[in-house]
Amino acid sequence: MKTWHRTAMALVAVCAGFLSQVPAALAEVKSAALSRGQNQVEGQKSTIALFMHPTSSLASLQYQGCTELESGNFRLEYTFHFRAWYGRSYTSNLKLTYFANGSLDYVAPGDRTALVPPFLASNCVFQWVKDRVAADPDVQNNQELSRLLAGFDARQLLEWWLKSGY
């Protein structure tokens, strides 16, 4: 066999060996990203619950699953089980979309049995705080801070909190 044939065959064998390892490496990266997202939600469940329904207590958290998106990103869904201050139990689902590397992209509420949608009560309190802060003359003179206060809500604040790594 000619030398270039042996070289070509050796190159094909090396490439085939490398390519056979790629799916395993990708699976490992996906698994690490998924674990990162799950660890974030499960580690921050009390804070997330506070933003969702601040007047209730978190009874438990239930993982509903992961949806892989065409972009390589993925969405985790959790059901938060709450107990209201007056004793009623209810649930609210939360969908958290992550980039392929496991960092948070955004948060969206899902189905619920709660009468009050997630983040509504927090938004009411947050609006009161924003109005108080916005009334300060120094804040009124700061266009960037005024714009930031006007456009922020409790869901966005939760996203910021989770992205910041607190």
Per-residue model confidence (pLDDT) at position 4: 53
pTM assigned to the model: 0.75
Per-residue model confidence (pLDDT) at position 19: 46
Give yes or no for a contact between 43 and 65, defined as CB atoms under 8 angstroms apart: no
Q: What is the mean pLDDT of each run of 10 residues along the chain (166 residues)?
A: 54 49 50 91 95 95 95 95 95 96 94 94 87 82 78 84 80
The H or E element that residue 11 is part of is: helix 3-43
- Count other C-beta atoms under 10 Å from residue 4's C-beta: 8
Per-residue model confidence (pLDDT) at position 6: 58
Per-residue model confidence (pLDDT) at position 45: 96
Per-residue model confidence (pLDDT) at position 64: 97
